[in-house]
Amino acid sequence: MADLRRLSFNQITVNSWTLREALDGCVRHGIPAIGLWRDKVYAMGLRGAAKLVKASGVAVSSLCRGGAFPATTREERQKRIEDNLRAIDEAAALGTTVLVLVCGALAGRDLEGSRSMVVDGIAAIEPHACERGIKLGIEPLHPMYAADRSVIVSLKQAREIAARFAPESVGVVVDVFHVWHDPDLYQEIEQLQGRILGFHVSDWPVPLPGILMGRTMMGEGVIELDRIRSAVDRAGYTGPIEVEIFNQKIWDQAGDQVLELMKRRFLECV
């Protein structure tokens, strides 16, 4: 089982908390790391956020998120690239080394073209990421988000894109919710040796209550979390394990209660 030294609280899991409240929560509950979201950082301002994070002593496992590369016009694609360059700077200012990429929605109906735009987008931002010491973590999303969130839908796809770049620059974020069903899951994780930049946990309840807000707390679904975690360990990833849950029922609970349950389930299930 993973121990709490590897636990990272992805702040979306208590969506009602501000950045300050989330950091205080980590300190109060002895959680060593946090995954940050750009909108929560903006709500406080980047400089203030960076100071607050540093003062808290809580490590930043990643910043969510860059990506969103495909668009039907060249101008719009260029805007997205510029936004990614800013995200890289923000990640550096916040003291993390990983920017998570949610690669983006289908442009029009051209799935192959959209996938090429993702490769082009990563190529466009990779030099700046290198310069700032930021690694780009391609997170394949579940295929149910292929049209509106990420045309990158499998570990194989993410691995093949990452392989075009140096392992120091571009890797893959493994989120169990998105990939648990993959018939090639364990072979793919094995092939990601040296390329895993993050590992996200949650669970897949049956029935799934919704498309975006469907995932739940570890232990309340069908994902073989411990088995996947062991495979990720064997692939050489020893970094933080983020708990990232979008779920209205969990969002409606008191943050401290969620953090307590999260810690317990992390120890029991991951």
User: Which of 49, 172 has the CB closer to a copy of itself?
Assistant: 172
Total binding residues for a copy of itself by CB under 8 A?
A: 31
Instruction: Tell me, rounded to whole angstroms, the distance of Cα 261 from its chain centroid.
Output: 21
C-alpha–C-alpha distance, residues 223 and 121, integer Å: 32
Best CA proximity match to 140, nearest among 195, 206, 84, 214: 195
User: Which of 45, 209 has the CB closer to a copy of itself?
Assistant: 209
C-alpha–C-alpha distance, residues 124 and 74, integer Å: 13
* Among positions 38, 77, 80, 115, the unique one binding a copy of itself when judged by CB under 8 A: 115
Site for a copy of itself in 145-184 (CB under 8 A): 146-148, 153-154, 156-157, 180-183
* Among positions 40, 77, 135, 142, the unique one binding a copy of itself when judged by CB under 8 A: 142
Q: Are 130 and 169 in contact (CB under 8 A)?
A: yes
* Among positions 223, 245, 250, 259, the unique one binding a copy of itself when judged by CB under 8 A: 223
Q: Are 127 and 90 in contact (CB under 8 A)?
A: no
Best CA proximity match to 125, nearest among 95, 86, 91: 86
210 binds a copy of itself (CB under 8 A): yes
* Among positions 199, 204, 246, 266, the unique one binding a copy of itself when judged by CB under 8 A: 204
Stretch that binds a copy of itself, among 91-99, 164-172, 208-216, 240-248 (CB under 8 A): 208-216
Stretch that binds a copy of itself, among 40-48, 79-87, 215-223, 229-237 (CB under 8 A): 215-223
* b/e sequence 252-261, b meaning 16+ C-beta within 10 Å: eeebeebbeb
Alpha carbon dihedral 146, 149, 154, 160, in 10-degree steps, equals: 110
User: Which of 63, 118 has the CB closer to a copy of itself?
Assistant: 118
| Interface with a copy of itself (CB under 8 A) | 105-106, 108-111, 115, 142-144, 146-148, 153-154, 156-157, 180-183, 204, 206-208, 210-211, 221-224
